[in-house]
Amino acid sequence: MFCRRGGFRQKLVHVTLRGALYGSWILGLFPFTYDSWTRKLHRSKWLIGYGIVLNVAIVTLILANDTEAETPARMEVFQRNPLAEQINSVHDFHSLSMVVLMLLRCYWRSEDIGKILNELMDLQWCHFRQYSLDDCCKFDNFVLHKGLSVGLEVCSMLILELGMYPKYSLQLFLGVIGLCTIVLVVLLGASHFHLAVVYIYRCVWIVNRELLRFANQLAEGETVDPAGVDRLLGLYSRLLELNHRLVEIYDYQMVMVMVSFLAANVLGIYYYIIFSISLHKDMDIILLFIVPQALFINMYDFWLSIAVCDLAERTGGKTSTILKLFNDIENLDVSLERSISDFALFCSHQRLRFRHCGLFYVNYGMGFRMTITSFLYLLFLIQFEFSNL
């Protein structure tokens, strides 16, 4: 699955994917061992135990070394606005429950995750290995962007935590290390879903390319074997089923992560406004660099998670458009026409979409609506603040 291809970009992608894999193993997020003989992943109870012990230790470390409340800037904001303090405690509780849920779901459904990953590897090895993958730039770009965003998120967390404190202590360092590790756990856990989605996207992209090749061949008067179209339909339906199972497993985690990201952005801007406008603070390094960078990186990561689902959805939509190219081909073989019709009917009734908990589809439209809603909530919060002036 992680086969290396030529070119600098491909090497970078390979390194990023390897990094995500080893990082997940170290943090106890990936409780599987790989058997290279059978090319299968096996669930390991030892790794699950290791993951539970490690993460409980990290959370305890954070709770034991919680120096967050002592930040002077934060204290000022909370004294100025008690509502901000209440919201902050709700957000903290939400973050903790998100970590617990992410880890529990990861271990609890590990058998299903293992099956999905094995099937995906199986598909890759048996059916998609022979196709050239170098053209799929969007896959490479997404993997690189995701790796970059995870790295930036951890760095921004470090800068945010260390930059806001006037004096350093051992307790602070332990707390910050624990916090960064748990952030990495959450980000890597979410990126497992996104990486699986981008793998599915690449397979669908290959199916589309093959269909397009068939359409061009027919237009040029060549013949196409109907079995080829049937094979593609079989692969497509397997990919859609895998996607469906994947979304079902990662439902709660992704909803929690998205809510957390949005809440962090809204609250970040809200604190920024209270600090800079209501408290009439002068522009210093905290206001000019530390808080804005954290906000930008957070938004970047959030948008990346939306963009990958939208990319896969649009690619799934293109399959139907490509099938329309078979409409105006004369003297199409009856069995081929039937295969194409089957494919078209399948596409119209089952689509590559990402619906979490039956609540919403993840795509650009939803991302836009989420952004608008966040802006509205921010306005409401500012109105509360304004009435306290």
Q: Contact residues for another protein (CB under 8 A)?
A: 134-138, 205, 209, 212, 215-216, 218-221, 310, 314, 318, 320-328, 330, 337, 341, 344-345, 348-349, 363-365, 367-368, 376, 379, 383, 386-387, 389
Nearer to another protein by Cβ, of 56 and 345: the residue is 345
Nearer to another protein, 222 or 282 (CB): 222
Tell me how far, at minimum, the Cβ of 64 lies from another protein, in Å: 44
d(CA 362, CA 149): 19
Shortest CB 25 distance to another protein, Å:
31
Question: Which residue lies nearer to another protein by CB, 114 or 228?
Answer: 228
What is the SS3 assignment for the chain? Answer: CCCCCCCHHHHHHHHHHHHHHHHHHHCCCCCEEEECCCCEEEECHHHHHHHHHHHHHHHHHHHHCCCHHHCHHHHHHHHHCHHHHHHHHHHHHHHHHHHHHHHHHHHHCHHHHHHHHHHHHHHHHHCCCCCCCCCCHHHHHHHHHHHHHHHHHHHHHHHHHHHCCCCCCHHHHHHHHHHHHHHHHHHHHHHHHHHHHHHHHHHHHHHHHHHHHHHHHHHCCCCCCHHHHHHHHHHHHHHHHHHHHHHHHHHHHHHHHHHHHHHHHHHHHHHHHHHHHHCCCCCCHHHHHHHHHHHHHHHHHHHHHHHHHHHHHHHHHHHHHHHHHHCCCCCCCHHHHHHHHHHHHHHHHCCCCCEECCCEECCHHHHHHHHHHHHHHHHHHHHHHHHCC
Nearest approach, Cβ of residue 134 and another protein (Å): 8
Q: CB-wise, 302 or 326, nearer to another protein?
A: 326
Residue 271 CB, nearest distance to another protein (Å)?
A: 20
Beta carbon of residue 277, minimum distance to another protein (angstroms, whole number): 12
Residue whose C-alpha is closest to residue 215's, from 105, 320, 97, 342: 320
Nearer to another protein, 288 or 376 (CB): 376
Beta-strand pair 32-35/40-43: antiparallel
**Nearest distance in Å: CB 204, another protein:** 13
276 or 320: CB nearest another protein: 320
Q: Of 51 and 367, which CB lies nearer to another protein in the complex structure? A: 367
Beta-strand relationship, 360-361 and 355-356: antiparallel
Residue 17: CB minimum distance to another protein, A: 19
Pick 179 or 218: Cβ nearer another protein: 218
Residue 39 or 318: the one with the smaller Cβ distance to another protein is 318
Q: Which residues contact 50 (CB under 8 A, 6 or more apart)?
A: 28
The distance of closest approach from Cβ of residue 389 to another protein in the complex, given in angstroms and rounded to an integer, is 6
d(CA 142, CA 23) in angstroms, rounded, equals 18
Q: Least CB distance from residue 318 to another protein, whole Å?
A: 7
* Beta carbons within 8 Å of 26's beta carbon, 6+ residues apart: none
Give the nearer residue to another protein in terms of CB position, either 184 or 366. 366
